[in-house]
């Protein structure tokens, strides 16, 4: 989530040179604990270990530049890029990305 937050900030800075962006950019995550930490400042023994770079997400949420939102693992298409998936989930996410299987396509088309 922190890598995505940094890329969001970079893209917003580039786009702000061209147009004015006023809406927060959604950052989807399937980890509710990470979303909670991004939205609320929690300082306890369990969250002490989190590195400073991960607190960047909290700054984006606080400044209304980004908005942490929950997406279930079944609907998280980004999982296809980050971990091995069972075949049905892989096929579903591949279809959502608009990628076709060349073996299934007709060579006459």
Same domain, yes or no: 55 and 77: no
Computed from CA positions of residues 46, 57, 76, 10, in that sequence, does the dihedral angle turn out positive or negative?
negative
Q: Say how many residues make up the chain.
A: 109
Domain count, the chain: 2
Same domain, yes or no: 54 and 6: yes
Euclidean distance between CA atoms 29 and 3, whole angstroms: 12
Same domain, yes or no: 62 and 78: no
- Residue 95 or residue 107, greater confidence: 95
Q: What is the pLDDT of residue 3?
A: 80
Same domain, yes or no: 96 and 57: no
Using DSSP, state whether 38 is helix, strand or coil: helix
Same domain, yes or no: 13 and 51: yes
Q: What is the pLDDT of residues 62-103, one digit of tens each?
A: 888 888 889 988 888 888 988 899 999 999 999 999 887 767
Same domain, yes or no: 41 and 78: no
Q: What is the pLDDT of residues 2-29, one digit of tens each?
A: 787 788 788 888 887 777 766 788 888 8
Tell me the pTM. 0.59
Same domain, yes or no: 67 and 84: no
Same domain, yes or no: 42 and 67: yes
Q: What is the pLDDT of residue 48?
A: 59
Q: What is the pLDDT of residue 84?
A: 93
Whose CA is closest to 9, among 84, 60, 78, 62? 60
Tell me if 66 sits within 8 A of 24, measured CB to CB. yes
Same domain, yes or no: 49 and 92: no
Two structure tokens written together for 94: 């591949």
């Amino acid at each position: 989530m922190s890598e995505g937050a940094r890329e969001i900030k970079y893209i917003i800075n580039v786009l702000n040179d061209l147009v004015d962006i006023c809406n927060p950019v959604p950052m989807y995550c399937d980890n509710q604990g990470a979303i909670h930490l991004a939205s609320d400042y929690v300082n306890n023994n369990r969250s002490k270990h989190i590195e400073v770079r991960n607190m960047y997400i909290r700054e984006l949420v606080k400044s209304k530049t980004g908005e942490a939102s929950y997406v279930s693992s079944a609907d998280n298409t980004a999982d296809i890029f980050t971990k091995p998936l069972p075949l049905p989930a892989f096929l579903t996410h591949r279809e959502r990305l608009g990628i076709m299987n060349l073996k299934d396509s007709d060579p006459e088309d």
